Amino acid sequence: MSSIRRPNLVLSSIVILFFAAVVPGYASETVTTSDSCIVSTPDSGAQEPLAAEKKPEAKPEPFAFADFTWLNGNSRQHKPTFDFPAFTGEIRVDTNYVYDLNHPKDHTLVGSSELGRTGEVQVQQLGVGGDFHYNNVRGRLLTQLGMYSTMTPRNDASPSRGQWDLANAYRYVSEAYGGYHFDKMNGINVDAGIFMSYVGLFSYYQYDNWAYQPSYVSSNTPWFFNGIRIQIYPNDHFKEEIWLTNGWQSYGMFNDAPGIGSQTLWRPNGNWSILSNNYFYGKDTLGNNKRKRAHSDSSVEWKYGDTPDSKLSKSALSFTFDIGCEYGGGVQCFGSDPAKPSQYFIGVMLYNRWWFNHDKYGVTLGGGAITNPGRYLVLVPPINGATAASGTPYFTANPGDPYRAWDASATFDYMPNDNVTFRYELNHRHANVPYWAGSGGVTPPGGNTGAPGSLVDSWQPDLRKNETRFTAALLVKF
């Protein structure tokens, strides 16, 4: 019987802190980033200090020493559109059209947490909200009206345990938390509620990404956590974040234990971003309280070219590697015992991005691959209305069931200003087992029949090993 070693978060933090101390950064213009931290300022009515006294030096905003709008998964806006003393507003509109060469007759797209329909114009997300900040008190609210309000809850099995319909309670909210900022070191934030996950590098919001459809590492890992996080900024180049959550992308708790996790983020200068996300201890298999999950996600982003006045104005790449597993309750991480099949996740993603003509145009090439025996992170195809809670006998997720897949994409962006992106993307995805919707679709004649995901007499879904599609999207952010 094999066992898993929990990620040594303390050791990894010490190593990164050491390098952060010996590698110098450089200063650049201050910008607003998604990792910003509210720092209190002196009362405007305070008495002027005596000449002999020295004013305390203002602490720099975390990661504001350089322009990080180039990062994959980070907003490219240089300043907010609606910015007031106690509130910074935010509006996002994501509209898409997908042309699938498999031509599913029920217009259903399979295997994506970002897209759900083909051959139609759909509003993927309408997000309205923003950030509240007053006297060190913090808060954030953003809606997820549109396709996300249906697709995101159906991938969470935890509402099936207990009462009060958690899926509908949270359906229209992507982020909702409150917290407090402590003026210690370069800032400490304590927040509670629903906050975005960093696992998989890509942002939940397509406007922030280099590509519309992320590879499997992002699409099959959590987009959100419901719980408590503590963000610690020892200096303006480094962040350590600790999570205590209900579970792995879950509104509720699957069994009797919370998930524990962290992020370690280091940006030594304006050209590099290095992070490590780790999750462990969560019992995230519905109905099996002996099975535990661990996952490690690491990414490196490197801006290797920056010549604003040239036709090729900027170049950057990102690389992500994930490894994780489930153990106990009839499975093991890695091994050859047929009584306890191996149940693990290994995935990689590599993307390269080029910007042209003062960042008005962008081209991204990339893709990735995964192997996930047991399919515990593979999105359940919505066959006959199947959800993560119901599962389906048409696509099993038994211990040891094989799943290997790879994908590639090419993306072209036109970005006339900081508020809008016109995106065109070609994707090809392959799996070793039939998974993607074929021309016959995944919906029985006459609509869903019986319990979600259940067998239907004399009918089989049309599943294929390959999918090629073209996506056009209009992404707006204010």
Burial of 45 (0-12, 13-18, 19+ CB in 10 A): exposed
The pLDDT value given to residue 19 = 39
- Between the CA of residue 443 and those of 57, 109, 386, 406, 473, what are the distances in Å? 63, 11, 10, 25, 26
Within a domain: residue 39? no
- pLDDT band for 15, please (50, 70, 90 cuts): very low
The pLDDT value given to residue 336 = 82
Check pLDDT > 80 for residue 158.
yes
Within a domain: residue 204? yes
Residue-wise pLDDT for 306-341, tens only, equals 999 999 999 999 999 999 999 999 999 998 888 899
Rg (CA), the chain: 23
Average pLDDT of the chain to the nearest whole number: 88
The pLDDT value given to residue 440 = 96
Within a domain: residue 198? yes
Within a domain: residue 285? yes
Tell which residue, 94, 97, 148, 108, has the closest CA to residue 470: 97
Tell which residue, 7, 4, 59, has the closest CA to residue 36: 59
- pLDDT band for 420, please (50, 70, 90 cuts): very high
Within a domain: residue 45? no
Largest CA distance in the chain: 89
- pLDDT band for 26, please (50, 70, 90 cuts): very low
- Domain holding 398, by residue range, is 9-33+60-477
Within a domain: residue 443? yes
Within a domain: residue 325? yes
Percent of the chain scoring above 70 in pLDDT: 88
Tell which residue, 54, 33, 407, has the closest CA to residue 203: 33
Count of CB atoms situated within 10 Å of the CB of 341: 17
* Residue the block writes with tokens 């519309």: 212
Residue-wise pLDDT for 445-477, tens only, equals 989 999 999 999 999 999 999 999 999 999 999
Q: Average pLDDT of 172-184? A: 96
The pLDDT value given to residue 54 = 55
Residue-wise pLDDT for 63-80, tens only, equals 999 999 999 999 999 999
- Domain tally for the chain? 1
Tell me, what CATH number does 463's domain have? 2.40.160.10
Within a domain: residue 41? no
Q: Average pLDDT of 80-109? A: 96
Check pLDDT > 80 for residue 38.
no
